[in-house]
Amino acid sequence: MREVFLKELREMFRDKRVRSTAFLGPIILIFGLLFLLSTVIGNLAKPQSVKVHLLESTPSAWVKRFEAEKYQVQFVKSEPEGRKLITDGKARTLVIFDAPGSGKVLKVRVLFDESEQLGQIGKERILGVFRAVNEKKLAGYLKGQNVTPEMVSEIVPEAVNIGVTKDKGAGEFLVGFLPYLIVIWAFYGGMSSASDLVAGEKERSTLETLLISPVSRTQIVLGKIFALGVICFLSSLSSLVGLGLFVGVRPPGSEMMLNKGLGINGSTVVLAIALLIPLVLMMASLLILISSYAKNAREAQTYLSLGSFVVIMPAMFSQFIGLTEFGKAAWVDYVPVLNVANHLRLALLSKPDFAGAGVAIVVNLVLALLAGWIAVRMFHKETIITRA
C-alpha cells in the first residue's frame, strides 16, 4: 500500500493541472473574492458613494446640506421623472420636500426601491442626515429655553451584547464564508485528479499492470484513497492561505470584515483538523468509487460533476444555518458536509460543540469506510478493467 500511496502522490504533485486547481485555485479565489468584497464595502462606507436625487425646486439650504455631507447630488424636474428613474434602476433615491403642514412640520419623503440594496443603503444614509438635523434643532431649542438636555426626561434604550468578546469570535462574514469554502475545496481539490486515478488508467491500459503487481488489490485501493485524501486535505488548507494573504495585505474596507478578528486559536485549529480528516477520507473514498465505476475519464468527469451537487447543497446551507434554529439541532450532526461546516462555524464563534463534533467525525468515518469497502469490492472483480 505504501508504494501505491507514494506513487500516486508523486504523480499528482507532478501534474500541473492538480497543482493549479487544488492548491493555487483556492488561494487565488479566496484572496480575490475577499479583496473584491472589501473594496465594495469600503466604497459603500463613503458618503460620496451614495447618489441623492432632488427636485429642482428643493430649498437651496437642503441642497447645500447634502453637498456638505459629500453626497452626489443630482436633480430631476418632477416627481414622476424621479420615480421612473428609480423603477428603471437609473436612480436609487429621490428626496421630496413637501410644503409645511400644521404646526410648521416639514414633511419629507424618501422614495426608493426596496428590492435594490443600494436603494436601501441610500435610504438609511439620507434618513440619518435628517435625524442629525432634528437632534441639532432640538438641542438649539432647549438651549433657547434655558433647558439643558439633562433636564429633559427621555427614553434611553441600551443594547447589551452578552455574546463573545471582540477578541474571541470571528466576524459574521467569516463565520458564514470560511467553513463553506473549506469543505468545498476539500472536494474540488481532489476532483481534478480523481478521474485519472482509476478511469484514466483504464483508458491508458495501465490498470492491468498495476493489478498484476505483488501489491494486493485492497492495498491498491487504500493507497489511492490516502494519496487523494492528502491532496483534498492540502487543498482545503490552501483556502486558509488565501485568507492569510488577505489579512496580511489588509485592503481598504477589510477593517469592517475583520473587526472581530479571525476567531482562530489553538483549540479551533485542533478541532478543524479532527473534523477535516474524516471528511477528506470520505470524499477521497467517494471520488475513487466514482472513478472506479466509470468506464473512462470523460464519463468519470460527468459523474463527478453531478456528485459535486451533493457536496455543494449542504455546504451552501451552512452559510445560512445561523439564520435558522438548526445550528444546534442534533440531526445536523448526521448530515455529511453540513455537519463539518456547521461545527467549523461554531468553533469560529468560540462556541465549540465537542459532543456534536464527535458524532460528525464518526458519521464521516463510517461513510468513508463504506465507500472504501465498495471500491475494494469493485477492484476484486475483473470487470474493473473494462474500458469503453
CA distance 308 to 288: 14
Q: Let me know whether 174 and 61 are in one domain.
A: no
The answer to whether position 86 is within a domain reads yes
The answer to whether position 142 is within a domain reads yes
CA distance 381 to 34: 48
CA distance 168 to 202: 51
Q: Let me know whether 98 and 229 are in one domain.
A: no
Q: Output DSSP code: residue 73.
A: E
Under the phi-then-psi rule, with left for phi > 0, alpha for psi from -120 to 50, and beta for the rest, what region is 170? beta
What confidence score (pLDDT) does residue 158 get?
56
What confidence score (pLDDT) does residue 278 get?
94
Q: Let me know whether 233 and 343 are in one domain.
A: yes
What confidence score (pLDDT) does residue 117 get?
66
Q: Let me know whether 220 and 274 are in one domain.
A: yes
What confidence score (pLDDT) does residue 162 get?
46
The answer to whether position 10 is within a domain reads yes
Asked whether the beta carbons of 229 and 220 are under 8 A apart, the reply is no
First-to-last CA distance in the chain?
A: 28
CA-closest candidate to residue 344, choices 362, 324, 361: 361
The answer to whether position 156 is within a domain reads no
The amino acid present at 101, given as its one-letter code, is G
Cell output for 152: 429633559
Provide the domain limits for residue 95: 50-151
What confidence score (pLDDT) does residue 86 get?
86
The answer to whether position 162 is within a domain reads no
CA distance 364 to 382: 29
pLDDT tens track, the chain, 388 positions: 777 777 777 777 777 666 666 767 777 777 777 777 677 666 655 655 677 889 888 888 888 888 887 888 889 999 899 888 888 878 888 888 876 655 566 788 888 887 676 777 778 888 888 888 777 776 666 666 665 655 544 545 555 544 544 445 455 566 667 888 888 888 888 887 888 888 888 888 888 888 888 888 899 899 999 999 998 898 888 877 877 777 777 776 666 666 655 656 777 888 889 999 999 999 999 999 998 888 888 888 888 888 888 888 888 888 777 767 777 788 999 999 999 988 988 888 777 889 999 999 999 999 999 999 999 998 888 877 765 4
The answer to whether position 28 is within a domain reads yes
Q: Let me know whether 195 and 328 are in one domain.
A: yes
Q: Let me know whether 28 and 70 are in one domain.
A: no
Q: Let me know whether 248 and 377 are in one domain.
A: yes
CA distance 349 to 356: 15
Asked whether the beta carbons of 161 and 258 are under 8 A apart, the reply is no
Q: Let me know whether 36 and 55 are in one domain.
A: no
The answer to whether position 99 is within a domain reads yes
Q: Let me know whether 33 and 61 are in one domain.
A: no
Q: Let me know whether 209 and 81 are in one domain.
A: no
Question: For residue 54, what is the domain's CATH number?
Answer: 3.40.190
What confidence score (pLDDT) does residue 48 get?
58
C-alpha distances (whole Å) from 158 to each of 118, 150, 155, 161, 259 are: 29, 17, 10, 10, 21
Domains contained in the chain, number: 2
CA distance 132 to 130: 5
Asked whether the beta carbons of 340 and 364 are under 8 A apart, the reply is yes
Q: Let me know whether 267 and 365 are in one domain.
A: yes
The amino acid present at 358, given as its one-letter code, is G
Q: Let me know whether 209 and 324 are in one domain.
A: yes
Nearest 5°: CA angle at 23, between 21 and 26?
A: 80
How do residues 193-229 score in pLDDT, each as one tens digit? 888 888 888 888 888 888 888 888 899 899 999 999 9
The answer to whether position 124 is within a domain reads yes
pTM score: 0.68
